[in-house]
Amino acid sequence: MNFLHYAPANGWFGDPMPLYAEGRYHVYYTKLLRDSRLCWGHVSSVNLTEWEEHPDLILPDEEDIGICTGSVLFAQGKYHAFYAAKDSNKVPHILKAVSDDGIVFRKTRRSLLSEERTGYRQDGTWRDPCVFWNPAEKCYWMVFCAKGVAGRPDPFPGVVGLAKSADLELWDLFPPLWETGMARSPECPDIFPVKNRWAMLYYWHDSRIRTADSLIGPWKRSEILSPDHFDFMAAKQLSDGKRHLMFGWIPRKHCDCGERIWGGHAACPRELTIDHSGRPASRFFQELDRLFPYSVPLFTGEQFVSSRGTWSWTGDGFSAWDGFAVTSVCPQDYRLRCQLNLEGSVAVGMVLLRTHGPEQFPSAEADNGYALLFDRPSQLLRLRELYQWDQRPDLAVVPWRTYDGPTQVDLLLNGDILEVNLNDSESLVCRLMKAPTGGLGFCVQDGGMTVQNGVVWTKSENW
């Protein structure tokens, strides 16, 4: 089974809880069943390209009415699953299940944290436990999503809660580890060591990252708070001893609009790096190369029809000035990698996706599909529906940090999912619902555009 944009046949993929243990990559996830119940699903792999589906676990029952996100820890020779569940009175509790093999779990049924919740708000935001080892204190720490007690109005009462244990069984509740000041509920917290510091992932509108020199903080943000921005949801990471791999999910949509529906597909895994200043960066995991092994020779120029501008094709790219060109000789699902450079301080370059080719419009006038705009004046990467009056709002927009020299573009179009990574650093993620098929085009306005080292890769040699 291929994990790329995976969803189970009988449900939808939600918050991932990745783990690397005993030579195997596990991705546990909150699974939305077709009958709208929530449980945990589970897939695993030894090489990140061939995956095995396992039976569902942490199922709802007469005691655990509603299941929420958590984490899985391999310690003391066993797999410990920490999760939140609501009882018949809709009161959430943080619980545990244990497994010998990471596949079949048995619930212990005992609430791990004090029900008084001293120092925390008594509401439903008491969930998403993440457990890890703190070597400085030689004990286990649990962080979780919660809200603090405030004697004054506060629109952002979210905190990362804290509990500690010596044996994973008896837990002491402590004051919040971090008061966000800018989140109603910091969901799916994940704390892990990276180099000589600690990092914290949490979800609030997008998957955000902060770092600290020690676990007591302060938890600081860098210039980049979220390298994968909106629609790469509820990211958590695992370490296999060589790298940190980040997993997230992409919500469903019915149309090209602002709607988001809970539960969807797994996003392409990311390799996460954090530099000495705390600045995070992400790029597609290297095993993606194995999933798109066949190249498509598009950049000879013979397949493209241009309507204006000056074009010079090089075999693996082109140079153009105030031009437009489109081709229909393109697979529907593909990965495009290239180096893109704009000439001119106000130049805007476009990559046209799922647009009509010369068969439909002999003059190469395209008026459908999507435009991915590299907008140099605004320093933004913008995605919008391609429309002749250019009045449609952006479907997605992220910073485009051009710096000096070309931008490394890694574009993945698979079904209705688009993921674009720039400079092995930041990504745009969005679904394309209106145009399921179409060709590929390029356009540049008010300047020049050069594409070098361009390669289109496909999953099949019979594209």
Q: What is the pLDDT along the chain (463 residues), one digit of tens a residue?
A: 999 999 999 999 999 999 999 999 999 999 999 888 899 999 999 999 999 999 999 999 999 999 999 999 999 999 999 999 999 888 999 999 999 999 999 999 999 998 899 999 988 899 999 999 999 999 999 999 999 987 778 888 999 999 999 999 999 999 999 999 888 999 999 999 998 999 999 999 999 999 999 999 999 999 999 999 999 999 999 999 999 999 999 999 999 888 899 999 999 999 999 999 999 999 999 999 999 999 998 898 888 888 889 999 999 999 999 999 988 888 999 999 999 999 999 999 999 999 875 555 544 445 689 999 999 999 999 999 987 666 678 999 999 987 778 999 999 999 999 999 999 999 999 999 988 888 999 999 999 999 999 999 999 887 7
Residue type (1 letter), 117: R
3-class secondary structure per residue, 187-223:
EEEEEEEECCEEEEEEEECEEEEEEECCCCCCCECCC
pLDDT at position 293: 95
Beta bridge partners of 334: 413
Residue 341's identity, in one-letter code, is N
Q: What is the pLDDT of residue 56?
A: 97
HSE at residue 347, side-chain half, CA atoms within 13 A, is 19
- Rg of the chain over all Cα atoms, to the nearest angstrom: 24
CA–CA gap between residue 344 and residue 339 (Å, rounded): 17
Instruction: For the chain, list the domains and their CATH numbers.
Output: 11-290 (2.115.10.20), 293-458 (2.60.120.560)
What is the reported pLDDT for 356? 76
153: Cβ–Cβ under 8 A, 6 or more apart, which residues? none
Spatial CB neighbours of 130, under 8 Å, sequence gap ≥ 6: 70, 71, 82, 142, 143, 144, 188, 189, 190, 191, 236
Residue 352 burial class via C-beta count within 10 angstroms: exposed 0-12, middle 13-18, buried 19 and up: buried
- Closest Cα partner for 117 from 131, 132, 127? 127
Residue 220 DSSP one-character state = B
DSSP 3-state of 174 = strand
